[in-house]
């Protein structure tokens, strides 16, 4: 299986990389039969159609890497050793055993050997490629990394029903400078989105690990499915008017904050 796709910036490339780690749906042959239910075979933890939704980013100068493989095989946004990312809070893990609502994911879970194969063949190549894109995209020794996600608005083991459209996560101020979070927040607000910061999503491993790297400003952008999809049938509704309207609104948001953020980045 191909672990990821890269969509290169067109025209003038900005010092900005976008990662979309949970949009993949590919699984090894026979894997779906090992899932616990038809509900799990519907891949309910997928960030549906995100590569399509953000297909405008390369035209704005942003390089994008998007996963091809389902997070049920291995979760690219969790620590590679499987340690807790949010100590004391419900988590779904490197290879999820339970879904967001606590349902069993597998009837026949992957073995340790299968997990190690996925780590070497999917997880590590994705993270190497993302690191290479950050290095290639740097300007004045600094780069912005955006990690793009979407999630059901329904209540689950992590939170109650989502109260906001957009949830920005900077690991409680550790992964990027406050000006970047605020610049992005203001752009979403200006285009009619409701926005929360570090609640209930603070950013995952990609944001945490990227933000530890010198010269990287890393921010996670989580979005409710309700912004662009029918939450009752998310896998089927990418060609509908809501999707197209949302894509236009999101493009306007990025057109607003990218120039301001890059200018601030270049000023140091």
Q: What is the pLDDT of residues 17-45, one digit of tens each?
A: 999 999 999 999 999 999 999 999 999 99
Q: How far is CA 33 from the centre of its chain?
A: 26
Q: How confident is the model at residue 239 (pLDDT cuts 50, 70, 90)?
A: confident
- Residues ≥6 apart with Cβ < 8 Å to 182: none
Task: Enter the pTM of the model.
Answer: 0.97
What is the tens place of the pLDDT at every residue in 107-150? 999 999 999 999 999 999 999 999 999 999 987 789 999 999 99
Q: How far is CA 189 from the centre of its chain?
A: 20
What's 223's domain CATH number? 3.40.630.40
Q: Look at residue 179 and tell me if it is in a domain.
A: yes
What pLDDT, on a 0 to 100 scale, did the predictor assign at position 237? 82
Q: Look at residue 72 and tell me if it is in a domain.
A: no
Q: Look at residue 202 and tell me if it is in a domain.
A: yes
Q: Look at residue 257 and tell me if it is in a domain.
A: yes
Q: Look at residue 122 and tell me if it is in a domain.
A: yes
H or E segment and range at residue 60: none
What's the rounded Cα separation, in Å, for the pair 183 and 248? 19
Percent of the chain with pLDDT over 90: 91
Q: Among all chains, which residue has been given the structure tokens 């949009």?
A: 23
Q: Look at residue 79 and tell me if it is in a domain.
A: no
For strand 63-67 and strand 216-224, is the pairing parallel, antiparallel, or unpaired? unpaired
Q: Look at residue 102 and tell me if it is in a domain.
A: no
| Mean per-residue pLDDT, 145-174 | 96
Q: Look at residue 80 and tell me if it is in a domain.
A: no
Range of the domain at 196: 4-24+47-67+110-150+160-267
Q: How many structural domains does the chain have? A: 1
| Mean per-residue pLDDT, 90-118 | 95
| Mean per-residue pLDDT, 158-177 | 97
């Amino acid at each position: 299986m191909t672990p990821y796709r890269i969509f290169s910036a067109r025209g003038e490339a900005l010092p900005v990389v976008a990662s979309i780690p949970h949009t993949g749906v590919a699984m090894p042959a026979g894997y779906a039969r090992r899932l616990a239910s038809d509900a799990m075979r519907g891949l309910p933890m997928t960030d549906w159609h995100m590569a399509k939704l953000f297909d405008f980013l390369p035209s704005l100068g942003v390089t994008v890497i998007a996963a091809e493989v389902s997070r049920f095989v291995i979760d690219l946004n969790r620590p590679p050793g499987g340690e807790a990312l949010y100590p004391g809070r419900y988590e779904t893990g490197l290879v999820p055993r339970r879904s967001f609502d606590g349902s069993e994911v597998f009837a026949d879970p992957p073995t340790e050997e299968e997990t190690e194969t996925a780590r070497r063949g999917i997880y590590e190549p994705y993270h190497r490629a993302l690191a290479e894109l950050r290095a290639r995209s740097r300007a004045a020794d600094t780069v912005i990394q955006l990690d793009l996600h979407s999630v059901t608005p329904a209540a689950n083991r992590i939170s109650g029903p989502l109260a906001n459209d957009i949830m920005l996560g900077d690991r409680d101020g550790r992964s990027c400078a406050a000006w970047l979070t605020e610049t992005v927040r203001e752009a979403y607000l200006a285009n009619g989105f409701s926005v929360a910061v570090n609640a209930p999503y603070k950013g995952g491993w990609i944001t945490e690990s990227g933000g530890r790297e010198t010269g990287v400003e890393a921010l996670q952008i989580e979005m409710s499915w309700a912004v662009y999809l029918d939450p009752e049938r998310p896998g089927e509704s990418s060609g509908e008017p809501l999707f197209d309207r949302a894509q236009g609104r999101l493009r306007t948001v990025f057109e607003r904050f990218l120039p301001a953020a890059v200018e601030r980045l270049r000023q140091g």
